[in-house]
A and B are shown apart, each in its own frame.
Chain A
Amino acid sequence: MLEAYGSALAYLFGNPSSFLLIIFSVIWGIAFGSVPGLTGIVGVALLIPFTFVFDPTAGLLLLAGVYVGSTFGGSISAILFNTPGSPEAACTALDGYPMAKNGQAGKALGIALASSAIGGIFGTIVLMLLAPPMAQFALNFGPPEYFALAVLGITAISAIGGGSVLKGLVAGLLGLGIATVGLDPITGTERYTFGNLSLLTGISFVPAIIGTFALAEVLQRAGERVSTKDVITDVSTKLPSMKEFLATRITLLRSSVIGSFIGALPGVGATTAAFISYSEAVRWSKHPEKFGTGVAEGIAAPESANNSAVGGSMIPLLALGIPGSATTAVMLGGLTIHGIIPGPLLMETNTQLVYTVFIGMFIANILMLIFGIRMARYFALVLKAPYALVGPAIVVLCMTGVYALNSNIVDVGVMLAMGAFGFLLRKLKYPIASFVIGLVLGPIAERSLRQGLVIADYNYWEFAARPITAILLLGSIASLAYGFYGQWKRHQQDRQSQVAAKHAG
């Protein structure tokens, strides 16, 4: 292995241009990530033709750098405008934007950047040291385990309610329900399309989140009398101090572990990782009710998770030739064009390529810190403009971005409708976080439940009695019960204190 790293380093220093490639790719990635409609997948796909002129190693370095950069980039617009630039960053908006609105945009960006770098480096280390065993372990995860994992994430909905368990659950169920529109994942029949073929696409995730987050926010701001007090003033991005940083260390560690593992599971990626680690951050927090109002953990959890998922999703790609995410699937296509056959033999036959990419990703994460601060500063300047100009610009950007993603005009309609719907949810004080978690994790839960039942021949016991599934499901039930118990206890305490107050009075 040391020898492999030696030859990888020899390659990097023998081709100094590869450092330029990494720098370019990180900036390109951050730029693509931060603009809604231009995701990392598009960023990677556009660069594939350019990799023809390089050797395969340089080509893969380029693509990996874009992947690293784009995963962070999405959080910039999520924090500053409540407009997730890429789906991975949707979760970051939940606490990032409120923090920015409280006048601490610079701090929010700094936390996102630091967490991204730490998550990214953690994921890369896991990839370097544990790729083959992790890939093998991930193979134990069949549909029942995916189902249990999604359920574990969904049960956190009850804790997110911001006081009302009922409202949290209602919002979550709405999310689960809306996700069922479109083609049935197992039988391919139409559901809730009312004979309208344009609804076959379903309520796609990206138009839905852009609508509920960005458009709903613009609508709300338009309805308010914007006072100068609300204007985000502190836009100079600062990395968190050591003290602030240490305060989130457990969240960072937990989320990085969750992120790199979920990244390694084929079919689910950085977005799922971000939401599940956000759910866990709420579940284990001492002050779960503060999430959604702009707490540091609410930014640190999804950002470290989605970036460690980048390293994670490279694990099945390099160890087995199975792409762990949509972006790595595009990378796999790029590798094939270079005549490299992805598969278990890749790590043995192309050691130099694999280890150079490891080191390249490491460097890319460090470079992200340097360029991220600069780029975030330029973006933040937009906030100095009056909202009367910024608001309409966001609406235009949302519409073009959503259309650009799939060139499908129906998505624009979905985005507008979800904007109105999100506005309504906010007015009635239903938590958006629960709604979005339902929307993201619902389809995973449904699909894997039904796949698993087909495999188990509809024997529910056989489905649930697998060790990992059982532990995760029991954990979900326990957490749900604990949530309700906590609610009941608070209720009792409130009543006692009221009674006591009455007596005292």
Chain B
Amino acid sequence: MLSLKTIPTAVALAAATLLSAPAALAEDYPSRTVEVIHAYGPGGGTDRFVRAVAQPFEEIAGQSMVPIAIQGGGGMPAYANFLQRRTDGYTMKAISPDQIIAHVLGRQDMGEFQPLARVQYDQGMIVVPADSPFQTIDEFIAHARENPGDLTVGITGAAGFDDTAMGLWNIETGAEVTTVPFGSSEMVSNTLGGQVDAMHEEFGPARGLIESGDMRPLVVFSDERLPVLPDVPTAKELGYDVTLGRWRAFAMPADADPDHVTKMFDLVSQAVASDAYQEVQEQAALQYRSVLLGPDEFAEFIEQEIATYTEVLTALGLVE
């Protein structure tokens, strides 16, 4: 019989057995905190994305998920940190088109990632200020075709996602515009103040200014029109294949245990399906084409993205 004295010993023994059990056992996984490395500031879009998934994840998995922000340097320090860590299923990376661009530019290697889940998929728009002479995208295109490079479009970041999206626009439409890189808030103020003719921005961050009538979206880069903007045409329906959008996703190290990948995707997809996450996604206006992609579909998607970005970045002269 267990005496009162032996209970603590038994508990300690049990605990020791649990702790020493190999962490790789799929049924125990995850048994501690999962860290998600990303290269953006605390409170930014990616940080909020990870936190929004982490909240329901904790309830579902019983373990927490925390974002680790390693900023700056075109994402290189974050990438290096991710590669240095052990592959034990507890390190993930939040990835986006920035990784595809870094891959195409030869700075990072997509082969280092095991695609896990693409969660968010946003859509960009060309937005003009209220007093712009362009009422429709046709007028905008007509002017740009007659005066190549005359129209300036504000974008965020140099040689990044926005530049690629507008570069694809130039290639597809022949309505050539000149991009001007800004920080995101300066881009909006320079567009509102008429310093540049238009800007490339997603619906979420621009909706306040669109609803107030201070800005007017001309075209949306998606397969279908946005339900909230039924009068704004897609580039696709005008005959231009420009649907590049910013996406946010999770990846694990390339040599991750397949059982871990399966289990983690299961947990992430449950978290994404939760009301808590869906609410956050709607508040950020990201629900329109954010279809969850699993490891295989996401890997295919990444292949297509690499092909597209290689084509555009080559045309922009950034890759030989």
Minimum CB–CB distance for B49 against chain A, Å: 11
A455 adjacent to B195 (CB under 8 Å)? yes
Interface members, chain B 192-215 (any A CB < 8 Å) = 192-196, 204, 207-209, 211-212, 214
The proximity string for B residues 43-60 relative to A, scoring 1 for CB distances below 8 Å and 0 otherwise, is 111011001000000000
B43 adjacent to A41 (CB under 8 Å)? yes
Minimum CB–CB distance for B80 against chain A, Å: 7
B283 adjacent to A267 (CB under 8 Å)? no
Minimum CB–CB distance for B257 against chain A, Å: 26
Q: Interface stretch among B66-74, B217-225, B232-240, B304-312?
A: B66-74
B132 at the interface (CB under 8 A from A): no
A186 at the interface (CB under 8 A from B): yes
B76 adjacent to A185 (CB under 8 Å)? no
Contact A343 to B70, CB < 8 A, known contacts A44-B43, A454-B178: no
B181 adjacent to A341 (CB under 8 Å)? no
* A56, B72: Cα distance in complex, Å: 31
The proximity string for A residues 338-369 relative to B, scoring 1 for CB distances below 8 Å and 0 otherwise, is 01011111100000000000000000000000
Find chain B residues with CB under 8 A from A322 CB. Answer: 185, 188-189, 192
Minimum CB–CB distance for B36 against chain A, Å: 13
* A445, B318: Cα distance in complex, Å: 25
Find chain A residues with CB under 8 A from B76 CB. Answer: 197-198, 200-201
**A344 to B, closest residue via Cβ:** B212
B71 adjacent to A408 (CB under 8 Å)? yes
A12 at the interface (CB under 8 A from B): no
Minimum CB–CB distance for A100 against chain B, Å: 32
Query: B158's contact among A49, A184, A324, A408, by CB below 8 Å, is which?
Result: A184
B189 adjacent to A266 (CB under 8 Å)? yes
Query: B212's contact among A185, A198, A336, A343, by CB below 8 Å, is which?
Result: A343
A470 at the interface (CB under 8 A from B): no
**A138 to B, closest residue via Cβ:** B189
B182 at the interface (CB under 8 A from A): yes
The proximity string for A residues 104-117 relative to B, scoring 1 for CB distances below 8 Å and 0 otherwise, is 00000000000000
A139 adjacent to B211 (CB under 8 Å)? no
Interface members, chain A 152-199 (any B CB < 8 Å) = 182-189, 197-199
* A46, B66: Cα distance in complex, Å: 13
**A46 to B, closest residue via Cβ:** B42
B183 at the interface (CB under 8 A from A): yes
A197 adjacent to B73 (CB under 8 Å)? yes
A341 adjacent to B207 (CB under 8 Å)? yes
Find chain B residues with CB under 8 A from A391 CB. Answer: none
Find chain A residues with CB under 8 A from B72 CB. Answer: 200-202, 204, 406, 408
B71 adjacent to A48 (CB under 8 Å)? no
Contact A188 to B211, CB < 8 A, known contacts A406-B69, A406-B77: no
Contact A267 to B186, CB < 8 A, known contacts A336-B284, A454-B152: yes
B159 adjacent to A455 (CB under 8 Å)? no
A294 at the interface (CB under 8 A from B): no
Interface members, chain A 130-144 (any B CB < 8 Å) = 138-143
B42 adjacent to A185 (CB under 8 Å)? no
B211 adjacent to A333 (CB under 8 Å)? no
A407 adjacent to B181 (CB under 8 Å)? no
A198 adjacent to B77 (CB under 8 Å)? yes
Find chain A residues with CB under 8 A from B190 CB. Answer: 142-143
* A420, B271: Cα distance in complex, Å: 49
Number of interface residues of B (CB under 8 A): 53
**Which size bracket describes the interface of A in this complex?**
35 or more
A455 adjacent to B196 (CB under 8 Å)? yes
B70 adjacent to A406 (CB under 8 Å)? yes
A451 adjacent to B193 (CB under 8 Å)? no
A397 at the interface (CB under 8 A from B): no
Query: B208's contact among A185, A204, A346, by CB below 8 Å, is which?
Result: A346
B195 adjacent to A266 (CB under 8 Å)? no
Minimum CB–CB distance for B87 against chain A, Å: 20
A383 at the interface (CB under 8 A from B): no
**B150 to A, closest residue via Cβ:** A457
The proximity string for A residues 35-51 relative to B, scoring 1 for CB distances below 8 Å and 0 otherwise, is 00000011011101100
A343 adjacent to B208 (CB under 8 Å)? yes
A345 adjacent to B183 (CB under 8 Å)? no
B283 adjacent to A337 (CB under 8 Å)? yes
Contact A186 to B158, CB < 8 A, known contacts A339-B283, A406-B77: yes
**B191 to A, closest residue via Cβ:** A139
* A409, B81: Cα distance in complex, Å: 10
Minimum CB–CB distance for A21 against chain B, Å: 19
A334 at the interface (CB under 8 A from B): yes
A419 at the interface (CB under 8 A from B): no
A140 adjacent to B193 (CB under 8 Å)? yes
Find chain B residues with CB under 8 A from A183 CB. Answer: 73-74, 158
Find chain B residues with CB under 8 A from A187 CB. Answer: 158-159
* A141, B190: Cα distance in complex, Å: 8
Find chain A residues with CB under 8 A from B160 CB. Answer: 188
Interface members, chain B 53-107 (any A CB < 8 Å) = 68-74, 76-77, 80-81, 107
A337 adjacent to B208 (CB under 8 Å)? no
A321 at the interface (CB under 8 A from B): yes
* A198, B208: Cα distance in complex, Å: 38
* A351, B227: Cα distance in complex, Å: 29
A73 at the interface (CB under 8 A from B): no
The proximity string for B residues 154-165 relative to A, scoring 1 for CB distances below 8 Å and 0 otherwise, is 000111100100
Interface members, chain A 247-285 (any B CB < 8 Å) = 265-267
B180 at the interface (CB under 8 A from A): yes
* A150, B81: Cα distance in complex, Å: 36
B174 at the interface (CB under 8 A from A): no
Minimum CB–CB distance for B286 against chain A, Å: 11
* A410, B181: Cα distance in complex, Å: 26
B42 adjacent to A41 (CB under 8 Å)? yes
Find chain A residues with CB under 8 A from B214 CB. Answer: 320, 343-344
The proximity string for B residues 136-176 relative to A, scoring 1 for CB distances below 8 Å and 0 otherwise, is 00000000000000001000011110010000000000000
**B185 to A, closest residue via Cβ:** A266
A143 adjacent to B195 (CB under 8 Å)? yes
A219 at the interface (CB under 8 A from B): no
**A405 to B, closest residue via Cβ:** B71
A407 adjacent to B70 (CB under 8 Å)? yes
B41 at the interface (CB under 8 A from A): yes
B280 at the interface (CB under 8 A from A): yes
**A190 to B, closest residue via Cβ:** B74
A186 adjacent to B193 (CB under 8 Å)? no
A329 adjacent to B196 (CB under 8 Å)? no
A330 at the interface (CB under 8 A from B): yes
A123 at the interface (CB under 8 A from B): no
Of the A-B pairs whose beta carbons lie under 8 Å apart in the complex, a sample of 19, sorted by A's number, is: A44-B43, A45-B47, A49-B51, A139-B193, A197-B107, A199-B73, A266-B183, A267-B183, A316-B185, A320-B209, A330-B42, A337-B283, A342-B208, A345-B212, A406-B72, A407-B81, A408-B70, A408-B71, A451-B182
Residues of B whose CB lies within 8 Å of any CB of A are 41-45, 47-48, 51, 68-74, 76-77, 80-81, 107, 152, 157-160, 163, 178, 180-186, 188-190, 192-196, 204, 207-209, 211-212, 214, 280, 283-284, 318
Beyond known contacts A407-B71, A454-B180: 15 more, CB 8 A cutoff: A138-B189, A186-B181, A197-B76, A266-B186, A267-B186, A321-B209, A322-B185, A330-B41, A337-B283, A341-B207, A343-B214, A407-B70, A408-B70, A409-B77, A455-B196
